[in-house]
Amino acid sequence: MEPALTQIGVQMSQLTGVRAIMKDIIATLEAHQGATFINLSAGNPVILPEIEQLWRDCTLDLLHSSEYGQVVCRYGISQGYEPLIEAVITDFGHRYGVQLSGRQVLITPGSQALYFLAANVFGGYTHAGQLKEIVLPLSPDYTGYGGICLAPEALRACKPYLEVDEAGHRFKYRPDFSQLQIDAGTGCLIFSRPCNPTGNVLCEAEVQKITDLATPFSIPIFVDAAYGPPYPALNYTPATPLWGDNLIHCLSLSKAGLPGERIGIAIGDERVIQVLEAFQTNVCIHSGRYGQAIAARAIRSGALATLSEQVIRPYYFRKLQLLETTLSEHLPDDLPWFLHRGEGAIFAWLWLRDLPISDWELYQRLKQVGVIVVPGQSFFPGLKMDWPHSRQCLRISLTASDADIETGMGRLAATVTEIYRASPPGEG
């Protein structure tokens, strides 16, 4: 049977961003069974023994508790599992001195679901036919933002300013506030901090300036802290959560070792939270309670925050240092290659200025030498202009073994050098 789809059905049945790339990666691996590929595309966190043991311990505690039946054999309220909400309120109060009420927290089935709710509550068409935009203040950003809008034309990203250290082969994206237009036609803003894919962390002054621009129009700002503190704390530079009437702080426990349980946490203004909760009720009733119950234990004990800082963060930071060192050893100094400053997350972001071929072609060339990365153009959702930079970048995962990172970066460097030498910048 060939199903007859609606417009939304057609739109939502298409793979977007990295999910489309992953389909090609899976096909490549299946077509070359027996071949050895160094897969540097993964977004799955490494299963670290200490983190897995934490979740085992919390599961055993739940299994032996009197609340087990209530957790798995009963529906719950749409807002989320009450002990988890209480644990978050208490922890954030002690950690950041913020006073939260129970109505300011919402638990969602993962942060992707949270941004789907936010984008379609605040973005899209009003009753009067006005288009409310979902604005990404800094591009590139999380590829998943490209698939969350039921009115895709509502998504608009802002081209950044590039701060480049030519001698050090490093660069950093910064918001270009001349590009950031916020007015009554803006529905909401979303940005990740730290950023997937680049590891960029907007500084407090930048976040505050974005907030100041949005406040006069009462526009909500969703700060995607899926890699931020206090869990999983994958920030290598300070990234303390900021608070304000229109700031909604959004957490995920995926990179804290629970990607399979799909737990997102939104903290913010009660009126915003209640609207999102109502939408969630209509979509899925509530998030799964088993994962919420073990998360409540991990947060309440303090173990999750401690292990995030003492185990998860150092593990990936060391991987980043290894990748940086290896690339510096293998990529010639006279080539225009630049790593984004490593400020957080579990990826490295490589910009190859004036790359003679596209990032997609480079991705194919790298597969020929047994290395799989993610071409960067998937991470510019909502950018309306044609920007050559968006086809000159790669995302490289830090989840591989040390040996694979070293070997993979050596092969990447050799391939990139060969491409540049064959067609030097300015001659193509």
Residue 67 tokens, joined: 């609340």
Mind listing the pLDDT tens digit for each residue in 97-126? 999 999 999 999 999 999 999 999 999 999
Tens of pLDDT, residue by residue over 238-266, are 999 999 999 999 999 999 999 999 999 99
**Which pLDDT does position 428 carry in this prediction?**
43
For residue 135, give the nearest of 200, 219, 232 by alpha carbon.
219
Classify domain 7-47+310-422 by CATH number. 3.90.1150.10
Q: Is residue 156 helix, strand or coil?
A: strand
> How many C-beta atoms surround the C-beta of residue 397 within 10 A?
24
**Residue 10's pLDDT is what?**
81
Q: Residue 10 burial (CB < 10 Å; 0-12/13-18/19+)?
A: exposed
Q: Where are the extended beta strands (E) located within 158-298?
A: 161-165, 170-174, 186-192, 221-224, 247-252, 264-267
**Domain 50-306 in CATH 3.40.50.720:** no
Please say whether the beta carbons of 147 and 11 come within 8 A: no
Spell out, as residue ranges, where the chain has pLDDT lower than 70. Answer: 15-20, 32-35, 425-428
The structural domains of the chain, with segments of one domain joined by +, span 7-47+310-422, 50-306
**Distance from CA of residue 283 to its chain's centroid?**
23
What is the per-residue pLDDT for 12? 79
pLDDT of residue 98: 95
